[in-house]
Structure 1
Amino acid sequence: MSKRGVVLLLGTTQTLAWASSYYIPAILAGAMARDLGIESSTVFIAFSCAMLLTAFLGPRVGRAIDQYGGRVVLILSNLVFILGLAMLALAQGPAMLFAAWLVLGLAMAMGLYDAGFATLAGLYGKEARSAITGITLIAGFASTVGWPLSGIMLAEFGWRGACWGWALIHLALAMPLNLLLPRGEARAPLVAAPAAPPTATAVRETRRTAILLAFIFAAGGFSAAALGAHLPALLVAAGATPAAAIAAGALMGPAQVAARVLEFTVLRRAHPLLSAKLAQVAHPVGAAILLLFGAPFAAVFVLLHGAGNGINTIVRGTLPLALFGAAGYGARQGLIVAPARFLGALAPALFGFVVAGFGAQALWFTATLSLAAFVALFTLRVAPESPGVQR
């Protein structure tokens, strides 16, 4: 199968995986809470527990992909998604609700972006960058597909019917598509030149680079999750009307997709480090414009923040691949992104306290985090590449 075919298949299954897990609470949480006699916040706490579980399981899933290949893990993820969604549909109280979300947390660890990135790294080695960008371009429309589809199923069949509907989509569509993925025959050959065991200095440098990447991705992950939960409220606090805040917030998705197109075209021949720097600086620049010039620039802030977030998603897969190579990518990636997943799960609640205390000025906090990550990128040591490759 061609690389383009793999990208199309994996991009589609990634879209369905995100739409049936990460994006369902926004549509179904209210109905779930009313039916189960609990607060909506309880549903989101269960969802946060699922996200925390993905951080814990990430390295283990990565090692499984390194050992058995991504196709096997992704197919198993569909089965776990089906089980979790079925448990959610059958839930009669908080205990079953939390159990269902923990199963979905396992499915998300096995089936979302990092698993997809590791699958592509195993198939194409360092040539996986364009494929990683490709699946994020397609799956960037997960909310565009997922929210309306969840809403239609909610209106027609109730929230339980919507969960059964997503389970059926995994069984009838996502799993058969993952079954079509290559078994690994397309794995890019690794150069097997004999080499001396790494020196203590090399080991320290590798550890230092991994720690820096973990911090950089954690900073970006916190800001993305925090703004994802509080963006409209922050824009209103900055002086925008509720209608203007919603209109500006609607630019988030197009900004992410446009930035990913930019990465796929203009930046594709540059080192991923350049993309990472542009992604990290976009949020603080946008925040400074909004805080200094006020609500008329809300759309500018959203466009810059969305663009940075869109490229950050790609960089999280491509920069470790460029720095460390494809060997052991899955396990290493799981470790590097674990802090980002952990903070991403906690960010909506933690940042809520900051917003409650400081209003729109809370953006200085996320801007400072992003600037620290931007500075950290300049301390990464990158091996020289062939002439004409920019950094």
Structure 2
Amino acid sequence: MTASTPRRPAHVPLPASLLLGIAQILVWGASFFLLSVLAEPIHRDTGWPLPWIYGALTVSILVSALLSPRANVYIARRRGRRLLIVSGWIIAGGLAIVGAAPNFPVFFAGWCLIGVGMAGALYDPLFTTLGLLYGQAARPAINAVTLVAGFTTTLVWPIQAWMEASMGWRTTCLVYAGVTALVLLPIYLKALPPDGAARTDAPPPSGERSGAALPGTAPAAPLPRADYLLLSLVFSIAAIIMTAVVVQMIVMLQGVGHSATAAIALAALIGPSMVAMRVLTLFLKRLHPTLMALVSAAFVAVGLLLLSASPQAAALGIVCYGIGNGLRALVRGTLPLALLPPAALAPVMGRLSRSSLFCQALTPLACGFVIAHAGAAATLWLLTALAALNLGLTFWLRLRVMRARGVG
């Protein structure tokens, strides 16, 4: 290492973590969550069928899934900050095309471009970048990012709805795209060290020097194939459940007897529950990610069971689900850090992202099909069964990790 080699700090400063959370609010609002507010206005204005409009998002997620391993190649080469900036600009550019689209093919092309940006701009690329830069010291930053970004729908949906009512969906897309493009650059330049920044000279813990695995630290050996498959299944099933809830929860609640107003009010409990749980985890720093994953899966399963079994328990079920889902994003960032050696983090995260994104892309179509042919109640029970399966798989993964590495 030469005297001119830039150094990174030993940990992520809290202001930087909060800035990264704001960046995630912007990119999620410009991509995954956008059509929750704008799909209906787009349909009314253009006459394009709603399935086509939502189908554009599905294809966008598929594009992201195909490209996510390639994005992680750049992260592995220590180009994470550059990737996050450029990917955010690509999302903004795609959103501008969507807003200006004179016909559906151009609208569709804009969403394909957004998918290209999603591959390198959302949680997984950011968490992988932080993991490579800071190792286990990235965990508090990941927690802070998910805490701030937990307010995405709480902030973005009302703002976008107000903008759409005031200036129309096209101007809303163009203005949001411009704000995103302008704000992301200074955030990432301020919050992340330059690409290629060297590690600090602080000595590692003795367990790291000897290659031994410590509780909560990355092991020296590659992840066994069985553990990788379990991890992939756990992440993919959690992504399916999350996507189904985001897209169809209000419809499902109405289908089991709640009014539209009550369904919206119940669904609104998810955000505060997620954020409250993420705040609590700030005081549970020694909780191992495998145990956190188990708690997350358990709360999701209990929440969906309550929703399925009794309409009267819907509020409690929503709160339990929100708690579990609030932990999900944090688990996705911290669990690979505890199971993977640094050299394997980027490529493995790329493959994990691809499988999860494929599942997310197909979930709205599959969930809509089940609701149309079997009803909302059957769909809730199906999601409950998936959540129970995920709980069992997570428990199995934790047992394997404990037996292999002595992690508590």
TM-score between the two structures when normalised by the length of structure 1: 0.90
Offset, 1:79: 2.2
| Deviation (angstroms), 1:192 | 7.0
Unaligned runs of 5+ in 1: 196-201
Partner residue, 2:247:
229
Task: State the shift of 1:229 in Å.
Answer: 1.7
After superposition, the Cα gap between the structure-2 partners of 1:297 and 1:49, relative to the gap in structure 1 and judged at 3 Å, is same
Please give the per-residue CA displacement for 1:252-301, whole angstroms capped at 9, x wherever unaligned: 111111121222223x2111011111111112222323333x21111011
Aligned to 2:6: none
| Equivalent residues of 1:221, 1:344 under 8 A apart | yes
Q: Give the counterpart of 2:336 among 300, 303, 320.
A: 320
Q: CA deviation at 1:383?
A: 5.7
Letter aligned with residue 11 of structure 1: G
Give runs of aligned pairs for residues 32-71 of structure 1, distance below 5 A. 32-71=42-81
Partners of 1:327 and 1:3 in 2: CA distance: 24
From the superposition, tell whether residues 192 and 66 of structure 1 become closer, same or farther in structure 2 (CA, over 3 Å). Answer: farther
Q: What does 1:179-258 align with in structure 2 at a 5 Å threshold?
A: 179-180=189-190, 181-184=192-195, 185=197, 187=199, 206-258=224-276
Kindly indicate whether residue 153 of structure 2 is the aligned counterpart of residue 153 of structure 1.
no
What's the CA shift string for 1:8-56, capped at 9, x where partnerless?
Answer: 2211111111112222212222232333331222111101110111111
Q: What amino acid does structure 1 have at the position aligned with 2:386?
A: L
User: 1:37 & 1:224 partners in 2: Cα distance?
Assistant: 29
Instruction: Identify the residue that residue 199 of structure 1 maps to in structure 2.
Output: none
Q: Is the 8 A contact 1:122 1:188 kept in 2?
A: no
Is 1:89 equivalent to 2:99 in the alignment?
A: yes
Q: Write the distance in 2 (CA, Å) between the matches of 1:182 and 1:112.
A: 18
Deviation at 1:237, TM superposition (A): 2.9
Q: Which amino acid aligns with 2:362?
A: L
Q: Displacement of 1:67 after TM fit?
A: 0.6
Residue in 2 that maps onto 1:164: 174
Letter in 2 for 1:5: P
Q: Is 1:372 the equivalent of 2:389?
A: yes
Q: List per-residue Cα deviations over 1:61-101 (Å, max 9, x = no partner).
A: 11111113321111111321232122112211111011100
Specify whether residues 186 and 127 from structure 1 end up closer, same or farther in structure 2 by C-alpha distance, changes over 3 A only. Answer: farther
Does the CA contact (< 8 Å) of 1:77 and 1:110 recur in 2?
Answer: yes
Aligned with residue 401 of structure 2, among 376, 382, 390: 382
Residue 198 of structure 1 corresponds to none
Unmatched runs of 5 consecutive residues or more in structure 2: 1-8, 213-220
Aligned-CA RMSD value: 2.4
Assess if the C-alpha contact under 8 Å between 2:142 and 2:330 holds in 1.
yes
Q: Distance in 1 between matches of 2:355 and 2:312?
A: 35
Change beyond 3 A, Cα 1:339–1:188: farther
Give the counterpart letter for 2:381 in structure 1.
Answer: W
1:78/1:233 Cα in 2 relative to 1: closer, same or farther (>3 Å)?
Answer: closer
Seen in structure 2, the aligned counterparts of structure 1 residues 349 and 100 have a Cα distance that, compared at 3 Å, is same
Question: What letter corresponds to residue 168 of structure 1 in structure 2?
Answer: G
* d(CA) in 2 for partners of 1:98, 1:249: 29
Tell me the alpha carbon deviations over residues 332-391 of structure 1, each in whole angstroms, 9 at most, x when there is no partner: 11101322211111112212222231431322222222222222223322268999x7x4
Q: How many residues align?
A: 380
Q: Residue 303 of structure 1: which of 302, 319, 322 is its match?
A: 319
Q: Is the 8 A contact 1:223 1:366 kept in 2?
A: yes
What TM-score, normalized to structure 2? 0.86
Name the aligned partner's letter for residue 383 of structure 2: T
Amino acid at match of 2:370: V
Q: Is the 8 A contact 2:31 2:114 kept in 1?
A: yes
Q: 2: CA distance between counterparts of 1:97 and 1:194? A: 51
> Which residue in 2 is equivalent to 1:344?
360
Q: SS where residue 239 of structure 1 aligns?
A: coil
The answer on whether the counterparts of 1:17 and 1:112 sit within 8 Å (CA) in structure 2 is yes
Segments ≥4 residues shifted beyond 4 Å: 186-195, 383-387
